[in-house]
Structure 1
């Protein structure tokens, strides 16, 4: 008989969602110390990414950056319990929105909206908080390999209002279907999905396979591209989600590659003030230009 993991996972995440903030932070510190020691392959990916993106940074400073990154990463995992099982009021108190008037103005105007959400550590908290603000939204969803985990993640991410979780198999086409209906889409622009639909666009000076979809959608559907930048304060457990004004004149006269390079520069500018907040644990440079060796 297969072991049903759902009650155990729900109990653990529910505990994280209800426990006092100091307890949440203690768990984050413990897991932040353990994770790079237990998941050595992920620690390797972080080191490689930081070396590629910050080659001029001394090694001891990159090591300190990696340690802070894992501290933030672990806290964000603990806080999925808060997002998926905590009370709406506690989520609103912990995850603060700034600039929501930018979204509201576009909604009032009937504009199509692409919420441009780079992979910062606080990405999940930002998505949950935005679903409390928006009556309806859509985002891509990658099915989890474990069906018990998949059910919990799907329920957690679709907890508030109406959230359309678009299968990665349907891809951008699925998001466009929702966008055409006037539903704001939460778009993650900086994952390496291979060569199809991508171009090698510089990211911290490194050619990175980058989807051109944001620029193409904005041009084809007159969609406003609204940056969503999220950060976590590991000392207080508070999250800040900054909703910026729509990217000016985007894509304008730029072709999709030039417009996408513009967005990558926007991400870089937001990463630099506190680089540990970015999601370095994913293989951003997995796909390499022809003839170039792999990094990982």
Structure 2
């Protein structure tokens, strides 16, 4: 028998299908643009990404200020010239990732496989085959959607937390694109971690983003590159309560070739172990620092990671 939550989910899915069946002019234009991105040659996509980057650097001044602030806070010992070089490389990678969503959402599976390679540990493959739940820990690198799509192509079912977009046309395109392959369940951020528990019980991998600032409520302040950052401890909570392995997922874009590589690392050893939730969350931030340092320009620096401050501290942005 279906419970009330199942019925609500099915009604929400029907409503979304109804909205998708009645696209307005703006959505049809956006879909046409992304379809074009998804079907042109890689060289043309790179030129489109470069053009978008040119526009971004000239008009997205507020976002540039956010990136400069984040880089200054996290890398105070780096020269201003180095941080500025990272900023330039960051916006180039970010612009390309927006263009390349056309391949993820509308390109052929062969085109996606040509653009994105992936490596996963044998333990992950075994757990998927056995239908066991796990956490795929996906920090915010610019290729986040690349990793999500590529993994859904090789994983029969899964669930992920999803922040609805403010624009309903954009939201419909993004939601459909992220659920394109296999059995993907999008859990609204408004439903919180509780929305993921049904999928854990169903044995699905959970694609979880651990590093956004969602405010003070429910967060702990733990260092990120030495700066206290409001961080939700849900990764440690879920891993402890449900005895879930945590597989980090990172991805990087090669500007010389336009190719992405998604790397799933082995499950974190002894996590969260005997640590408190705060200590385990601080450990995750230290791990993330190491992954960021592999390519500092491709972390998602346009997010106001330090927006929420401990009581009495001044705001950065």
TM-score range, shorter chain: over 0.9
Q: Quote how far apart the aligned CAs of 1:30 are.
A: 1.6
1:2-41 correspondence to structure 2 within 5 Å: 4-41=25-62
Q: Report whether the alignment pairs 1:107 with 2:108.
A: no
Provide the rounded CA distance (Å) in 1 between the counterparts of 2:255 and 2:26: 29
User: Which runs of no fewer than 5 residues in structure 1 stay unpaired?
Assistant: none
Q: Report whether the alignment pairs 1:212 with 2:266.
A: no
Q: Quote how far apart the aligned CAs of 1:100 are.
A: 4.7
Q: Quote how far apart the aligned CAs of 1:36 are.
A: 2.6
Q: Runs (4+) of structure 1 moved beyond 3 Å?
A: 108-111
Q: Is the 8 A contact 1:102 1:244 kept in 2?
A: no
Provide the rounded CA distance (Å) in 2 between the counterparts of 1:49 and 1:36: 17
Q: Does the residue aligned with 1:192 lie in a helix, a strand or coil? A: coil
Task: Provide the alpha-carbon RMSD of the alignment.
Answer: 1.3
2:269 counterpart residue number:
248
Provide the rounded CA distance (Å) in 1 between the counterparts of 2:268 and 2:293: 19
Q: Is the 8 A contact 2:118 2:261 kept in 1?
A: yes
Aligned CA distance change for structure 1 residues 201 and 38 (closer, same or farther; 3 Å): same
Q: Quote how far apart the aligned CAs of 1:196 are.
A: 1.5
Q: Is the 8 A contact 1:230 1:242 kept in 2?
A: yes
2:74 counterpart residue number:
53
Q: Does the residue aligned with 1:223 lie in a helix, a strand or coil? A: coil
User: TM-score, length-normalised on structure 2?
Assistant: 0.91
Q: Is the 8 A contact 2:152 2:158 kept in 1?
A: yes
Cα deviation per residue 1:170-226 (whole Å; 9 max; x = unaligned)?
A: 011111221121111100000001112210010000000001000011110001100
Provide the rounded CA distance (Å) in 2 between the counterparts of 1:186 and 1:274: 22
Cα deviation per residue 1:2-43 (whole Å; 9 max; x = unaligned)?
A: 962011101110010000001111111121122132111111
Provide the rounded CA distance (Å) in 2 between the counterparts of 1:170 and 1:3: 28
1:43-192 correspondence to structure 2 within 5 Å: 43-192=64-213
User: TM-score, length-normalised on structure 1?
Assistant: 0.97
